Amino acid sequence: MYGTIGFMAATTPQPGATTPEIIRNFCIIAHIDHGKSTLADRMLQITGVVDARHMRAQYLDRMDIERERGITIKSQAVRLPFKADDGVDYVLNLIDTPGHVDFTYEVSRSLAACEGAILLVDAAQGIEAQTLANLYLALENDLTIIPVLNKIDLPAAQPEKYAAELAHIIGCSPDDVLKVSAKTGVGITELLNEVVKQIPAPVGDASAPARALIFDSVYDTYRGVVTYVRVVDGKISEREKIKMMSTNEVHEILEVGVISPEPKPSKAIGVGEVGYLITGVKDVRQSRVGDTITLAGKPATESLGGYRDPKPMVFSGLYPLDGSDFPLLRDALDKLKLNDAALVYEPESSVALGFGFRCGFLGLLHLEIVRERLEREFDLDLISTAPNVIYRVKMDDGSEHIVTNPSEFPDGKIAEVHEPIVRATILTPNEFVGTIMELCQQRRGTLHGMDYLSEERVEMRYTLPLAEIVFDFFDQLKSRTRGYASLDYETTGEQMADLVKVDILLHGDPVDAFSAIVHRDKAYSYGVMMAAKLKELIPRQQFEVPIQAAIGARIIARETIRAMRKDVLAKCYGGDISRKRKLLEKQKEGKKRMKMVGRVEVPQEAFIAALSTDDNAAAKAKGK
Amino acid sequence: MSRTLGAYVHVPFCASRCGYCDFNTYTAAELQRDGTSVSVATYADRVISQIQQGHQQRPDPRPLETVFFGGGTPTLMPASELVRILSALRDEYGFAQEIEVTTEANPDSVTREYLRELFDGGFTRMSFGHQSSAPHVLQLLERTHTPGRTWEAVEWAREVGFTHVSVDLIYGSQAETDEDLKNTLTDVVNAEVDHVSAYSLIVEPGTRMAAKVDRGEVSPASDDIAAHRYPLIDDTLRAHGFTWYEVSNWAKPHGECRHNIAYWRNQDWLGIGPGAHAHDNGTRMWNLKHPAAWAAAIDGHLSPWADSEVLSADEQRREHIMLRLRLREGLPIDYLHESGWSQAVQAVLDGLLEQVEDRLVLTDSGRLLADGLVARLWD
CB nearest B375 (choices: A543, A574, A588): A588
Same domain, B122 and B232: yes
Instruction: Say whether B289 sits in a helix, a strand or coil.
Output: coil
**What percent of chain B clears pLDDT 70, i.e. is strictly above it?**
100
| pLDDT category of residue A6 using cuts at 50, 70 and 90 | very low
B 24-43 residues with CB below 8 A of A?
24
* Mean pLDDT within A311-324: 89
Q: Which residues of chain A neighbour B70 with C-beta distances below 8 Å?
A: 574
pLDDT in tens, A378-403: 999 888 888 999 999 999 999 999 99
* Structural domains of chain B, count: 2
Do B247 and B361 share a domain, yes or no?
Answer: no
What is the per-residue pLDDT for B31? Answer: 82
Note whether B9 and B126 are same-domain residues. Answer: yes
Burial of A616 (0-12, 13-18, 19+ CB in 10 A): exposed
Average pLDDT of the segment spanning A34-43: 87
State the distance between the two ends of chain A, measured CA to CA, in whole angstroms: 54
Mean pLDDT of chain B: 93
**What would the DSSP string read from start to end of A357-400?**
EEEEESSHHHHHHHHHHHHHHS---EEEPPPEE-EEEEETTS-E
CA distance A120 to A194: 14
Count of C-beta atoms within a 10 Å radius of residue A171: 8
Residues B30 and B129 reside in one and the same domain: yes
Task: Find the largest Cα–Cα distance for chain B.
Answer: 58
In a domain, B310, yes or no: no
Going by C-alpha positions, the residue among A256, A276, A259, A254 that lies closest to residue A268 is: A256
On chain A, the residues whose CB falls within 8 A of the CB of B326 are 568
SS3 A570: coil
Quote the domain boundaries for residue B371: 329-378
Does residue A2 register a pLDDT over 60?
no
- B37 and B129 housed in the same domain: yes
Query: Which of the listed residues B264, B294, B316 is the one where a domain comes to its end?
Result: B264
Would you tell me which residues 156-185 of chain B have a C-beta closer than 8 angstroms to some C-beta of chain A? none
Q: Which amino acid is at A110?
A: S
| Whether pLDDT at A132 is above 60 | yes
Using CB atoms within 10 Å of the CB of residue A195, give its burial: 0 to 12 exposed, 13 to 18 middle, 19+ buried.
buried
Confidence of residue A57 (pLDDT cuts 50, 70, 90): low
Answer yes or no: do B233 and B367 share one domain.
Answer: no
From chain B, the residues in CB contact with A568 under 8 A are 247, 326, 367-371
**Pairing relationship of beta strands A23-30 and A116-122 according to DSSP bridges:** parallel
What is the predicted pLDDT for the residue at B159?
A: 97
Residue B302 lies in a domain: no
pLDDT tens-digit readout, B246-278: 999 999 999 999 999 999 999 999 999 999 999
Question: Among the residues of A199-252, which ranges form H helices?
Answer: none
- Please check whether residue B269 lies inside any domain of the structure: no
What is the rounded CA–CA span in Å between residue A163 and residue A175?
A: 8
Q: Identify the weakest region by mean pLDDT among A404-413, A591-600, B304-313.
A: A591-600
B299 at interface of A, judged by CB pairs closer than 8 A: no
Interatomic CA distance for residues B338 and A540, integer angstroms: 26
pLDDT tens digits, one per residue of B14-68:
888 888 888 888 888 888 777 777 888 899 999 999 999 999 998 999 999 999 9
For residue A63, pLDDT beyond 60: no
- Asked whether residue B66 is assigned to any structural domain, the reply reads yes
Work out the mean pLDDT of chain A and round it to a whole number: 87
Contact B71, B11 (CB under 8 A): yes
Q: Check CB contact under 8 Å for B372 and A567.
A: yes
pLDDT > 90 in chain B, percent = 81
pLDDT band at A100 (very low <50, low <70, confident <90, very high): low
Q: What is the pLDDT of residue A1?
A: 34
Distance (Å, rounded) from C-alpha A489 to C-alpha A269? 36
Q: B204 vs A10, which has greater pLDDT?
A: B204
* CA distance readout (Å), A266 to A81, A277, A400, A525, B112: 16, 10, 53, 62, 111
pLDDT(A532) > 70: yes
Give the pLDDT band of residue A75 (cuts 50, 70, 90).
very low
Residue B319 is assigned to a structural domain of this protein: no
Q: How many residues does chain B have?
A: 379
Partner residue facing B277 (CB), from A565, A568, A574: A574
**pLDDT at A352 > cutoff 90:** no
Between the alpha carbon of residue A145 and those of residues A109, A203, A303, A458, the distances in Å are: 17, 18, 26, 22
pLDDT tens digit sequence for B324-346: 999 999 999 999 999 999 999 99
**Contact assignment for B24 to A574 by CB distance below 8 Å:** yes
Q: What is the DSSP string of B137-198?
A: HHHHHT--S-THHHHHHHHHHHHHT-SEEEEEEEE--TT--HHHHHHHHHHHHHS--SEEEE
Instruction: State which of B212, B238, B264 marks the end of a domain.
Output: B264
B32 φ, ψ to 5°?
-65, -45
Asked if B107 and B187 count as a contact pair (C-beta separation under 8 A), the reply is no
- Answer whether A353's CB lies under 8 Å from A602's CB: no
Inter-CA distances, B118 with B45, B112, B128, Å: 18, 10, 14
- In the stretch 503-542 of chain A, residues with CB closer than 8 A to chain B read 542
Q: Are residues B82 and B209 in the same domain?
A: yes
| pLDDT band at B347; cut points 50, 70, 90 | very high
Nearest to A146 by CA among A182, A113, A115, A117: A117
> Which pLDDT tens digit goes with each residue over A278-296?
998 888 888 888 999 999 9
Contacts of A289 (CB under 8 A, 6+ apart): A105, A106, A109, A214, A215, A216, A217, A310, A341
Rank A7-11, A17-21, A320-324, A576-580 by mean pLDDT and report only the highest: A17-21
Residue A404: CA count within 13 A, CB half-sphere: 17
B243 lies in the same domain as B343: no
Task: Read off the CATH number of the domain in which B260 is found.
Answer: 3.20.20.70
* B274 domain-assigned: no
What are residue A519's DSSP bridge partners?
A499
B282 contact residues in A (CB cutoff 8 A): none
Residue B10 lies in a domain: yes
pTM score, two decimals? Answer: 0.69
The pLDDT score that the predictor gives to residue A59 is 54
Same domain, B225 and B359: no
- For position B137, what pLDDT does the model report? 93
As a whole-number percent, the residues of chain A with pLDDT over 90 amount to 54
Q: Which residues contact A508 (CB under 8 A, 6 or more apart)?
A: A546, A548, A598
Interface predicted TM-score (ipTM) of this complex, two decimals: 0.88
pLDDT of A622: 36
pLDDT of A68 reads 53
The string of DSSP letters for A305-325 reads S--------EEEEEEESSGGG
Give the best residue of A545, A564, A568 to mutate against chain B (max B CB count within 10 A).
A568
Are A102 and A32 spatial neighbours (Cβ–Cβ below 8 Å)? no
Domain boundary among the residues B264, B282, B306 is at: B264
Alpha carbons within 13 angstroms on the beta-carbon side of residue A424 total 29
pLDDT of residue A624: 33
* Closest CB from B350, B365, B371 relative to A569: B371
- 3-class DSSP assignment, residue A586: helix
Q: B259 to chain A nearest CA, in Å?
A: 11
Dist CA A344 CA A340 (whole Å): 9
Contact A575 B350 (CB under 8 A): no
Which of the residue ranges A160-164, A223-227, A308-312 would you say has the lowest mean pLDDT? A308-312
The answer to whether A461 and A447 are in contact (CB under 8 A) is yes
Mean pLDDT of A323-330: 93
Q: Which of residues 544-583 of A touch B (CB under 8 A)?
A: 564-578, 580-581
- Picking from B325, B369, B373 by the largest number of A CB atoms within 10 A of its own CB, the best residue to mutate is B369
Q: DSSP letters of A64-77?
A: HHHHHHT--SS--E
Q: Are strands B64-71 and A116-122 parallel, antiparallel or unpaired?
A: unpaired
Instruction: Give me the amino acid identity at A243.
Output: K
Q: Distances in Å between the alpha carbon of A488 and those of A264, A271, A363, A368, A542? A: 37, 34, 12, 17, 50
Kindly state whether residues B252 and B342 are assigned to the same domain. no
B369 and chain A in contact, CB less than 8 A: yes
Query: Which chain B residue lies closest to A543 (C-alpha atoms)?
Result: B350
**Is A433 within 8 Å of A458 (Cβ atoms)?**
yes
> Is beta strand A414-429 parallel, antiparallel or unpaired with respect to A516-519?
unpaired
CA atoms within 13 A on the CB side of A155: 0
The answer to whether residue A375 neighbours chain B at the CB level (below 8 Å) is no
Partner residues linked to B286 by β-bridges = B277, B307
Closest CA to A409 of A389, A395, A393, A388: A393
Domain contains B273: no
The whole-number pLDDT of residue A419 equals 96
Classify burial at A147, counting beta carbons within 10 Å of its beta carbon; exposed 0-12, middle 13-18, buried 19 or more: buried
Do B373 and B256 belong together in one domain? no
Pair (B258, B374) in one structural domain: no
- Output helix, strand, coil percentages for chain A, rounded to the nearest 5: 30, 35, 35
